[in-house]
Each structure stands twice: as structure tokens, then as C-alpha cells.
Chains A and B, each alone.
Chain A
Amino acid sequence: MSLIDLEKSFQEKIDKEIKIEPKDWMPDAYRKTNIRQISQHAHSEIVGMLPEGNWISRAPSLKRKAILIAKVQDEAGHGLYLYSAAETLGISRDQMMNDLNSGKAKYSSIFNYPTLTWADMGAVGWLVDGAAILNQVMLCRTSYGPYARAMVRICKEESFHQRQGFETLLVLSKGTKEQREMCQDAINRWWWPSLMMFGPKDSESTNSDQSIKWKIKRKTNDELRQQFVNMIAEQIKLLGMTLPDPDLKWNEKRNQYDFGEINWEEFWNVVKGNGPCNKQRLAARNKAHDEGAWVRAAAIAYADKKKNKTTHKAA
């Protein structure tokens, strides 16, 4: 088959909602886009453990500590599901790790913001996981089979993340004056970065929507962001708190919430590596990787030794 025929039958499969599997023919650009997107997604799960890991030793009760450990462990699992999905496309785990640690690979900018108080654990679960879930629910139907299956697994686990976050804030919102202030402060700091998680506005696009055509993505940034605002603007009422946006209001005509303009300069700055914690996050990743080197080497040496022993016996 010629390349044009292959591309045509590939697109026909996509249009018929037939999933693409690892050994199937696919255009190079489809492979590359998926590798980039899945590995970035995996990196986000892995780096995402850092801001929350920061509070494990300082959680206010044993119950909260156990919950937080379970959540962070889930995020590690999410990273691993995704790395193995990316590996089916021909990139190695070590390559991805090196790209993350060298700063070559990107991850979601949201994790370059600091977690300053306990209330941030609530705000992160509710807003950051909440935003991620909308994206991930959409990705359960993405066209690349291994990615879609990883997403189904992840979505099953995410709902607890968001619920525990909201509940953490709910408890604070019913607490002392200081606790209520802490709750509002965390919401104020996490609201705008959460909206930025969805990426630039659709109108700033210069490329064609290849990802939509290939059904890697099924909704645009603005669609997902609007869905998020509609959801959160209602949920916050139950907390008796407010979102830090004077322009946020229900629009009868659109049947949606209107909201204010995002600070795009801040957004691009953080993407480019100048966020409050970019350097700290990468340093933490590198430290963990480097300090684990002897463990990885020792495990290989031990496995080789055992292998040699058994072949000896057999001989």
C-alpha cells in the first residue's frame, strides 16, 4: 500500500471509532504527538506528587495523613500506567525519565506553584484534580487504545481525589475564623492557575486541529475550561466561599458562566520555566533519581547473579 492509501485507511478507522493499537500502522506525526502528550501527562502525574508530598508529614491528623499518602500513591500509579502506554509507541522509559530530569520534557505548569498551607491540599484536590478529571474523562475515548485504557483506569481513581479535596475545604469552611480565611486564601491562589491548566484560548490557534481530527482530543481548551467554570461556580456555593473573579457571573443568554480574562503573561512565564517552583521541582526529581541509582544497579546485579546460579545448576 502507498503512504497515501495507508493514511487514508488510518483516517477511516479513526472516523469509524476503531481504536489504534500499538502494532497498527500509524502516521509518524500521530505517533510523535501521542508520545509527547502521553509522556507529558505521565510527567505531570509524577511531578504532581511533589506539592502534595510536601504535606504528608504535616497533615493535621492520622486520617488526613493516610488519605494524602493514598492519593499521592495513586498519582505515582497514574504516572506508571501512562509511561507504559507511551512505551508501546517505541520510546523507552529511561529516555522519558532523562527528558524529564534534563528539563527537556514539559509537564503541567500547575505543579510549579507552591503549597503554602494545609488548605492548599483541599484546593489542589478540588480544583487541580477537578480540572484534570475533565480532561481525563474526555481522554477515555481517545483514539490510541493503550492511552484510552490507561485513562479509564485513572478516571476510576480520580473521583476520590476530588472528593477528599472538597471535603477538606468543607471542614475548614465550617471551622474557626482563621480556618475559614485559610480556606478562602487557598481558593484565591489556586483558582487562576487551575483555569490556566486548560491551555491557551482556542482563538490563539494558528495550527489546524490535527489532534481533533485524529480524535486524540475531542474537546477544545475553551470548551473544557467553560465546563470547569460552570461546575466550580456552583460547587463553591456549598463552601460559602467566593472565587477571586469580579467578572464571574451567570449569563442567562449563553446558559453558561461568564468569567474574567486569564493573565496569559503569567501562563507563558511558568511554561517557559520561570514559575515559582520550576527549579525546585526539577531539582527534587533529579535528587530522587540520582540517589536511587545504586538501588537500580544493585537490583540488576542481584537478578543477574541469581540467573547465573540457576544456569549453573542446570548445566
Chain B
Amino acid sequence: MNINIRKFYYGDIPEENNVTSLSQNSKTEKEWPLWEVFIRSKQGLDHKHAGSVHAADAQMAIENARDVYTRRQEGISIWVVESKHIHASNPEDADMFYEPASDKVYRHPTFYDLPDEIKHM
């Protein structure tokens, strides 16, 4: 037997021809849509992105999110939103997009030099 040993790591076994296909499979079943999950971990805190789940509708998405992301009381409130409704800023434009804030140091309290004697400010 001719075994061609290639480097691979635990959890990363290379495929025979070293190609991962991104093509859609021919077996077409309609996929449940993807939902993004946001969880409030306790009263008084913001909802925070936790991950995503697949579900046929919103109710199922909330129930799946409960089972997947709150098995240890990690949440008291769940929001779900279909992933296709999320719009995001473009990372390639980040420099230009956030640039206007970078030269406005006077927006920070530390910009102001005040005498040490001043209290409660």
C-alpha cells in the first residue's frame, strides 16, 4: 500500500485531492433559513450576539436558540432576526468610514488640562 503522508492536525484531515468544494450539492432540499441570535444574559444588560441557528420560522428559531445557547441559564431574553435582514458596514471602507472621529480628541474628557485642586469633575 502506498500511503502518502501529508501534514495534518487533529481535527483537520486533508481531503484526498486537497480541495474543499464550495459548490452546491445536487441533492436539493429547501434549507431552513438562518437566524442570528441575540441574548440578554441578565436584566439590565444589552442583548449581545451569541451565534446563529437554522429554523423554519421565528418561533422555532427562538426555541432552537434556547436549546443551543442557554443550556446553563446564560440568558433571560432572546432576540432572533433572519440573517438576510442584517446589513453591515464594509470592512474595506473602515479606514475612510471611521476616519472623521480620529482627529477629534477634544471629544474625550482627558483632553482638558485642569488644576489638580478641582474636585468632582
Residues on A lying within 8 angstroms of B by beta carbon are 21, 23-25, 32-33, 35-37, 40-41, 44, 70, 73-74, 77, 80-81, 84-85, 87, 90-95, 98-99, 104, 106, 108, 131, 135, 149-150, 153, 157, 197-200, 204-207, 209, 211, 217, 220-221, 224, 268, 271, 293, 296-297, 299-300, 302-303, 306
Contacts and interface: CB of A to CB of B under 8 A. Distances in A.
Contacts of B30: 297, 300
Interface residues of B, number: 40
B12 A36 contact: yes
Contacts of A303: 56-57, 60
B11 A84 contact: no
A172 to B, nearest CB: 27
Interface in B53-92: 53-54, 56-57, 60, 67-69, 71-72, 88, 90-92
Interface in B1-16: 3, 5-15
A209 B68 contact: no
Chain B CB within 10 Å — which of A87, A94, A99, A197 has the most? Answer: A94
28 contacts: A24-B91, A32-B20, A35-B20, A36-B15, A37-B9, A40-B13, A44-B11, A74-B71, A80-B53, A90-B22, A92-B31, A93-B31, A93-B34, A95-B24, A95-B25, A106-B13, A135-B10, A150-B51, A197-B10, A198-B10, A199-B8, A207-B7, A211-B12, A217-B9, A293-B29, A299-B56, A299-B60, A302-B57
Given A81-B51, A293-B29, A108 B10 contact: yes
Interface of B: 3, 5-15, 19-22, 24-25, 27, 29-32, 34, 51-54, 56-57, 60, 67-69, 71-72, 88, 90-92
B7 A37 contact: no
B11 A40 contact: yes
Given A40-B13, A296-B29, 10 more contacts: A23-B91, A32-B19, A36-B12, A81-B68, A84-B51, A92-B31, A98-B27, A99-B25, A149-B51, A199-B12
